[in-house]
Amino acid sequence: MKYFSTNNKAIRVSFREATLKGLAEDGGLFMPVEIHSLLSDFWKNISSKSFKEISFESAKLFIEEEIPENNLEKIIDTTINFPAPLVELNANKFVLELFHGPTLAFKDFGARFMAQTMAYFNKDEQKELTILVATSGDTGSAVAYGFHNVEGIKVILLYPSDKVSQIQEKQLTTIGGNITALEILGNFDDCQTLVKQAFTNPELNKKLRLTSANSINIARLIPQSFYYLNAFALLKEKDKPLYIAVPSGNFGNLTAGLFAFKLGLPVEKFIAALNVNKVFLDYLKSGKFAPRPSVKTLSNAMDVGNPSNFNRIIDLFNNDHKRISNLIYSASFTDLQTEEAVKSFYNKYEYIFDPHGAVGQLAMDEFLLTQNHNDFNAIVLETAHPAKFLDSIDENLSQMIDMPERLKKCLKKKKHSIKLSSDFADLKDFLLSI
């Protein structure tokens, strides 16, 4: 399989090069030249397949011969070793729980797959690989745990100071070993900009082997398509219209869903659920993409004002605004609406959403009001365990949430971070000094 840059389709690289580079030399994102549909027999028998089997068959289409099948099976076995259950709210509505991994967030799937893939490709390299990661919360901890003590790899996490939850910050800053946390005095977009600047800086690239573990890295994105396919496999009645709501920030998760759609997943509508950072909703309405500074909210992983993966969405549909808006619905909600929704959804379904999942369910419910039928499969992605957001959930509900033991242990550890400004010169100096 070959991959091209979204800035120049003439640039073609292998999956290995796309994974280890993270970002194309021209600043573009890597995309597969084509995404083949899974065979009809796969879809016919999907209900009898395990999550690992589904993941393996899907991964082969993106990787082809670059990783031998026995090695790829080992990567899948190590990566997909926790469940993604489909919880029924009622006969038509479901929650896809993606928080059963080590860091209790959906990003564990992509981070662990990428860690194992990079370790495979990097095993014969003499020079250390340095991974730069911009995080608005969950990405950093998932990547850190996925790469912790992986030989030949160093991880630098950039997170916005005072803009992640207390638990998220503890997860980011207490791992040690080959993981370093940089506390950036700015927002997530500043962190993301710094990472992109580092990738295109000649001096840094001369000294260091740099790559990314954000969703800008195709190896982080591909495995996130696996759980969409597995969710479909878990549905009992597969012939109903399928709608999927995705809490969206940097749009990696939605893009992974679109990859699954290209593989043949019969989705009638994706719902991009947004907080007040709604540049994508504005794009759907106007046809114009106008990035702007992000605003801090309770659903902090979605606080992105310039989503990188927008370029991938545009590319998948040849910049056809009509095709994109026909497949993707979007809605935006305030913190007040989110707080009220967490309480009302518990009263209605006896299910406690985290703030991101609550925005997802709000967007799904708004979309369903536009439909004139009552027979469908509506799936909302619950991307993080609610215990990670106790400070933003109603106190009465918070008391009902069991905090997993691994979070309790994390809170007892001492934070270790290095504060830097959002000036690229400071990051450059730091990287040249390590």
Q: Which domains does the chain have, with CATH numbers?
A: 83-105+221-403 (3.40.50.1100)
Distance CA 417, CA 415 (A): 7
Owner of token pair 């790469």: 147
Does the pLDDT of residue 434 top 90, yes or no?
no
Angle formed by the axes of helices 69-79 and 107-122, nearest 10° = 140
Q: Which residues contact 187 (CB under 8 A, 6 or more apart)?
A: 160, 163, 293, 294, 296, 303, 305
Tens-digit pLDDT profile for residues 8-61: 999 999 999 999 988 898 889 999 999 999 999 999 999 999 999 999 999 999
Contact 253, 274 (CB under 8 A): no
Tens-digit pLDDT profile for residues 392-407: 888 889 889 988 998 8
Residue type, 23: L
Does the pLDDT of residue 171 top 90, yes or no?
no
Tens-digit pLDDT profile for residues 306-345: 999 999 999 999 999 999 999 999 999 999 999 999 999 9
Lowest-confidence range among 87-96, 99-108, 144-153, 380-389? 144-153
pTM above 0.85, yes or no: yes
Distance CA 352, CA 163 (A): 23
Tens-digit pLDDT profile for residues 54-65: 999 999 999 999
Contact 351, 87 (CB under 8 A): yes
Q: Which residues are annotated as catalytic?
A: 107
Residue type, 38: L
State how far the alpha carbon of 177 is from the alpha carbons of 96, 111, 256, 295, in Å: 33, 17, 31, 33
